[in-house]
């Protein structure tokens, strides 16, 4: 399938006919945000709004969320930003929410970044977890959905080139645009066999 054909993948009929896919998400609220004061109630409410938008939009493709919320998380910043393993869970998309993201995580200031597992290699420790970093200050209305799309389309299961990243951004934004208009995006449903996704019961 070439890129043009891949872009056109999507419409599969009304979402009511789809077998649901349930995605498990762990949301980690940054206790170190706002110069160590932590996120305030308004920050958490903003994130909940972003999550609700994502919930409504991905429901069109038969993708549903099971979300747990964890407070007290923080970033370890000794040379680079990392979430301590004690806050992370296997079998979840771990979403770290802060007021703003450090440049080593979000160099383009988009308000979001996502990664998946990778093996250890010389000079670089491995990662076992699926993670999204979300900065409330820079994030736009579609940022969280865009980051989930990278996981759902399996972009975070491999290490693409810069060109590959740009292509994935363009493709996912187009698919999200179609999904907001009622299209079922089969390209997002390919996540069904990943560790944080499971089949639900048909409605």
pLDDT per residue as tens digits for the range 143-153: 999 999 999 99
Distance CA 118, CA 129 (A): 9
137 or 122: which leads in pLDDT? 137
Q: What is the largest CA-CA distance in the chain?
A: 50
In the chain, pLDDT over 70 holds for what percent of residues? 87
Count of Cβ atoms closer than 10 Å to residue 162 Cβ: 7
All structural domains of the chain, each given as residue ranges with its CATH number in brackets, are: 21-102+110-118+126-195 (3.40.390)
pLDDT at 167: 92
CB-CB contact of 14 with 181 (8 Å): no
Q: What confidence category does residue 12 fall into, taking pLDDT thresholds of 50, 70 and 90?
A: very low
Distance CA 128, CA 131 (A): 10
pLDDT at 126: 76
Q: What confidence category does residue 159 fall into, taking pLDDT thresholds of 50, 70 and 90?
A: confident
Q: Is 117 exposed, middle or buried (0-12, 13-18, 19+ CB in 10 A)?
A: middle
Is the pLDDT reported for residue 116 higher than 60? Answer: yes
pLDDT digits (tens, 9 = 90+) for 128-144: 999 999 999 999 999 99
């Amino acid at each position: 399938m070439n890129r043009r054909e891949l872009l056109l993948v999507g419409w599969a009929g009304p979402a009511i006919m789809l077998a649901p896919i349930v995605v498990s998400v762990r949301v980690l609220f940054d206790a170190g945000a706002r110069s160590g004061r932590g996120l305030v109630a308004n920050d958490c409410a903003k994130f909940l709004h972003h999550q609700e938008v994502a919930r409504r939009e991905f429901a069109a493709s038969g993708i549903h969320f099971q979300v747990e919320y964890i407070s007290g998380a923080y970033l370890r910043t000794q040379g680079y930003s990392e979430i301590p393993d004690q806050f992370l869970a296997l079998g979840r998309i771990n979403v770290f929410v802060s007021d703003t993201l450090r440049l080593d995580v979000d160099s383009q200031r988009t308000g979001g970044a996502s990664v998946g597992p990778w093996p250890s290699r010389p000079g670089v420790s491995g990662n076992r977890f699926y993670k999204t970093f979300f900065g409330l200050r820079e994030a736009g209305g579609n940022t969280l959905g865009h980051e989930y799309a990278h996981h759902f389309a399996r972009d975070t299961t491999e290490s693409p080139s810069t060109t590959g990243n740009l292509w994935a951004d363009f493709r996912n934004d187009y698919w999200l645009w179609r999904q907001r208009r009622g299209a079922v995006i089969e390209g997002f449903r390919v996540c069904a066999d990943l560790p944080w996704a499971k089949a639900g019961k048909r409605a």
